[in-house]
Amino acid sequence: MENFRKEPRIAVFPGSFDPITVGHEAIIRRALTLFDKVIVAIGHNTAKKSLFPLERRIEWIKTALQDKSDVVEVQSFTGLTIDFCKKMNARFIVRGLRTSTDFEFEYSTGQVNRQIGGIETVLLLTDPQYTHISSGIVRDIFLYGGALETLIPKGIKLTTDEK
C-alpha cells in the first residue's frame, strides 16, 4: 500500500477560445477542483477561420490563469481531440454546458469519444451568470468597439494584430 501512487488525473478542455471569455475561465477554475491538471487545448484543424491569431489566443488564456500556471497548461492541436488526449496522457475531456443546443452536440461527441477512444467526457453546467456569454458575442462586440470588461478575463486587451 505504501508504494501505491495514484496516476495524476489530467483533463483536456478543448475549444477555439477565439477569444477566451469569463465563461471559459470559470469552467477551467472549476475543473481544477476535480482534476490535478487541466490542459486547455486550442483546436485549429477545422475550416473555421478564427478572428484572433493563435499566438494571442494562447497568450490570453495563460494571462487569465497565470495564478494557476503550475496546474494549467495551454496547447494547440490538430486532428482528433481523443488522439491529443492520448498523447497528453489525459483520460478526461471537460466541456461547458450552457444550453440544450450545447447538450445535443456534447452528447453525440462524448459518446463517440468514449466508444472509439475510451475517453470520458465531464460536462460542467455553466454558472447562470455566464449562460449568455460566448466567444462569438465577444467577437461581435469587439468588432463594433463595445465594452468588454465584464465578458473577458481581467488583464487581457484584445487585438487582431492587424495594422
Which residues in this chain contact ligand ADP in the complex, by CB under 6 A? 15-17, 21, 23-24, 27, 95-96, 98, 102, 126, 130, 133-135
Does residue 100 carry a catalytic annotation? no
CA distance 125 to 14: 16
Q: Does a cis peptide bond (omega within 30 degrees of 0) precede residue 19?
A: yes
Does residue 48 carry a catalytic annotation? yes
Nearer residue to ligand ADP within complex by CB, 3 or 46 = 46
**Can you tell me which residue has the cell 460566448?**
134
CA distance 42 to 77: 6
- Closest approach of ligand ADP to the CB of residue 162, in Å: 21
- Closest approach of ligand ADP to the CB of residue 21, in Å: 6
Catalytic residue among 50, 57, 95, 135: 135
**Can you tell me which residue has the cell 477566451?**
20
Active site residues: 24, 48, 98, 135
